């Protein structure tokens, strides 16, 4: 089976980065042929670097989303008919983007967006790409006309020339996959299945492969791409109206991807709710939890279960990226209350990167809340809060962060899939977490959950576990059993093997493959010249003759029945 993996690179590793689990998927499914189609956002993302990251992939194809588009020196489509088709398609797309949020006729706007998107894709296929047309003055004028149309979003009604130029350039970057040279019989046309490892622009090649070749599209999201776009700080420098148009494009693209995909596989219920809110039908959704290589984590869990439950280790461990969303300030204030209940308690903060300014703020707060303590006048003081970093001599690997410690804490106010909690569960560690994201779904009944931004509740839960070693051991054993059942890499690989076989077995042929069937077209189709308007272009339908839009006669169900009637 030939699987096309569609992914989108980034200048930094995003949340829910698909590279790690894609590597595990390729290594686990050695009986499948994988090809990687990557949209690169960084000049350093060359095909050679992608091949190094994915050694099990048979071929790597890349298309840049940064800088000027490939072939931008090519002239726009020539000829009055081609230019008219481009204007009609771009106007349809722009009308869907500039409409008021959540209007009563949202279904009609979804159809207009699809007509414009696929119309531009057809033009790009016929003209070998549209790199110049999508940034041309014609596109800017079409976008301006849509913003000035009655019924458009009032925010866009007073868009300036700078807003329109910036928005046109941003829209072209997202739509650049339409011009990628991937839609022939040697690339995506030869794939049995397209697997988009994230939402957003990465699904565009899969949408076109489904349109031109009937290739089923599978969309996996372990982090909501639309939500990441809303929270992305890189777009803060854009004008407000340009950001609004770009957000509308991502929102419409997500809805179209969810509608066209044969199956959606969110990583947790939190992402599933996002997809349903964007219009994804429930019948197409199947939750597949991301798999984690147990390995050394399972060995630590076995050693913990073999130990005595009465062993006392009053240490709290926090692991993750240091950033404001993790709310380490609330954790430090909660630990100050824990020290009142458990004077011997300690807190280890193990960082795997993040913001240096926020880390400095947390260090200063820890120094203020917990002065260095000394046993006597001769011994040096020691702070009960330690800041460590993965890769240091004390924590050479992420697994070593969970070796010492009795309770693992998560204090986030925003969280997707809590990977650190799953790793702690494999290590048979009791956990205390805030109720955000997919935490409740992951933990189940094997840990304590408290409201976010509540240091008092967090301190009470941590102190209760630190004072009860036997309860910690029981919760840790239950957590390890749940992790081994739901979150292993083998479980993830087995689920996708079944999905691949099911989607390919029920693959439907493309609509264009049935065009040559007998009686599929009326006799007028053989008349030379243009007799039928292009699909999705209402402006051309008015110029078509009356006989050109007649419905063809239905073909009889069986030839034998026709003979009997005769």
Residues 380 and 466 in one domain: yes
> Cβ contacts of residue 12 below 8 Å, gap of 6+?
none
Q: What angle do CA 21, 26, 31 make, to 5 degrees?
A: 150
Q: For residue 480, with 0-12 CB atoms within 10 Å meaning exposed, 13-18 middle and 19 or more buried, which class applies?
A: buried
Q: Judge whether residue 99 has pLDDT over 80.
A: yes
Considering the domain architecture, whether residues 445 and 362 belong to the same structural domain is answered as yes
Q: Verify that 323 and 363 share a domain, yes or no.
A: yes
Residue 363: half-sphere exposure toward Cβ, Cα within 13 Å: 12
The most confident of 53-62, 68-77, 305-314, 467-476, by mean pLDDT: 467-476
Give the sheet arrangement for strand 448-450, strand by strand. Answer: 385-389, 346-354, 315-322, 407-410, 430-434, 448-450
Q: 15 and 63 share a domain? A: yes
CB 153 within 8 A of CB 95: no
Of 117, 137, 169, which closes a domain? Answer: 169
Q: Are residues 319 and 463 in the same domain?
A: yes
CA angle 532/534/539 to nearest 5° reads 100
Q: Does 462 lie in the same domain as 414?
A: yes
Determine the Cα angle at 335 with ends 331 and 340, to 5°.
Answer: 155
Q: What are phi and psi of 263, to 5 degrees?
A: -155, 145
User: Which SS3 state, helix, strand or coil, does residue 29 take?
Assistant: coil
Q: Are residues 328 and 469 in the same domain?
A: yes
pLDDT at 486: 92
Same domain, 347 and 479: yes
What is the reported pLDDT for 15? 45
What are the tens digits of pLDDT across the range 485-496? 999 989 999 999
Query: For 293-349, how does the pLDDT look when each residue is reduced to its tens digit (9 = 90+)?
Result: 887 787 777 777 666 554 567 899 999 999 999 999 999 999 999 999 999 999 999
340/217 same-domain check: no
The reply to whether 418 and 560 lie within a common domain is: no
Instruction: Collapse the DSSP code of 7 into the 3-class scheme (helix H, G, I; strand E, B; otherwise coil) and give the result.
Output: strand
C-alpha radius of gyration, the chain, whole number: 28
Is pLDDT larger for residue 505 or for residue 557?
505
Q: Which residue has the higher pLDDT, 535 or 454?
A: 454
pLDDT at 373 over 50: yes
Of 378 and 390, more confident: 390
Q: Across 438-562, where does the E strand assignment appear? A: 448-450
Task: Give a yes or no: residue 54 inside a domain.
Answer: yes
| Structural domain includes residue 272 | yes
Domain that holds residue 154: 87-169
The answer as to whether 81 is a domain residue is no
Is the whole-model pTM more than 0.85? no
| Number of domains observed in the structure of the chain | 4
Q: Where is mean pLDDT largest: 22-26, 52-56, 276-280?
A: 276-280
d(CA 566, CA 562): 6
For residue 45, what is the domain's CATH number? 3.40.50.2000
Tokens of 552: 């063809």
Paired with 2 in beta bridges are 33
Shared-domain flag, residues 428 and 332: yes
Whether residue 429 is predicted with pLDDT greater than 70 in this model: the reply is yes
């Amino acid at each position: 089976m030939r699987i096309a993996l569609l992914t989108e690179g980034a200048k930094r590793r995003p949340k829910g980065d698909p590279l790690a689990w894609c590597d595990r998927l390729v290594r686990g499914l050695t009986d499948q042929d994988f090809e990687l189609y990557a949209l690169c956002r960084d000049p350093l993302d060359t095909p050679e670097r992608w091949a190094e990251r994915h050694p099990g992939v048979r071929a790597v194809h890349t298309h840049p989303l940064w800088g000027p588009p490939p072939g931008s020196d090519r002239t726009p489509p020539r000829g009055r008919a081609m230019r008219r088709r481009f204007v009609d398609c771009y106007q349809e797309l722009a009308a869907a983007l500039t409409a008021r949020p959540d209007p009563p006729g949202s279904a009609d706007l979804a159809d207009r967006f699809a007509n414009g998107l696929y119309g531009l894709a057809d033009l790009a296929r016929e003209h070998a790409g549209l790199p110049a047309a999508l940034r041309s003055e014609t596109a800017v004028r079409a976008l301006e006309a849509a913003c000035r149309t009655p019924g458009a979003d009032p925010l866009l009604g007073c868009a300036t020339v700078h807003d329109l130029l910036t928005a046109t350039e941003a829209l072209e970057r997202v739509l650049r996959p339409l011009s990628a040279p991937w839609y022939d019989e040697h690339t995506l046309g030869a794939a049995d299945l397209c697997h988009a490892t994230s939402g957003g622009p990465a699904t565009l090649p899969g949408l076109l492969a489904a349109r031109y070749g009937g290739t089923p599209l599978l969309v996996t999201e372990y982090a909501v791409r639309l939500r990441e776009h809303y929270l992305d700080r890189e777009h803060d420098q854009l004008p407000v109206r340009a950001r609004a148009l770009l957000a509308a494009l991502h929102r419409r693209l997500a809805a179209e991807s969810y509608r066209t995909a044969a199956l959606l596989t969110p990583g947790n219920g939190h992402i599933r709710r996002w997809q349903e809110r964007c219009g994804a039908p429930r019948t197409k959704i199947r939750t597949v939890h991301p798999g984690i290589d147990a390995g050394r984590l399972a060995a630590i869990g076995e050693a913990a279960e073999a130990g005595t439950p009465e062993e006392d280790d009053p240490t709290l461990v926090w692991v993750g990226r240091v950033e404001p969303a993790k709310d380490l300030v609330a954790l430090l204030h909660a630990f100050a209350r824990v020290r009142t209940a458990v004077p011997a308690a300690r807190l280890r903060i193990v960082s795997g990167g993040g913001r240096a300014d926020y880390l400095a703020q947390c260090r200063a707060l820890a120094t203020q809340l917990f002065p260095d303590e000394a046993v006597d006048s001769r011994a040096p003081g020691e702070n009960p809060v330690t800041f460590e970093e993965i890769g240091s001599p004390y924590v050479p690997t992420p697994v070593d962060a969970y070796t010492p410690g009795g309770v693992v804490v998560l204090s986030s106010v925003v969280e997707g899939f809590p990977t650190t909690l799953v790793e702690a569960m494999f290590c048979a560690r009791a956990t205390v977490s805030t109720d955000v994201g997919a935490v409740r779904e992951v933990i189940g009944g094997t840990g304590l959950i408290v409201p976010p931004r509540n240091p008092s509740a967090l301190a009470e839960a941590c102190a209760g576990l630190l004072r009860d070693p036997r309860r910690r051991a029981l919760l840790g054993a239950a957590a390890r059993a749940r992790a081994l059942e739901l979150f292993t890499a083998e479980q993830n690989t087995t689920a996708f093997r079944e999905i691949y076989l099911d989607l390919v077995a029920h693959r439907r042929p493309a609509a264009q493959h049935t065009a040559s069937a007998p009686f599929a077209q009326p006799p007028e189709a053989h008349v030379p010249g243009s007799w039928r308007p292009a699909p999705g272009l209402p402006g051309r339908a008015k110029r078509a003759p009356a006989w050109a839009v007649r419905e063809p006669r239905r073909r009889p169900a069986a030839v034998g029945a026709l003979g009997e009637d005769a």
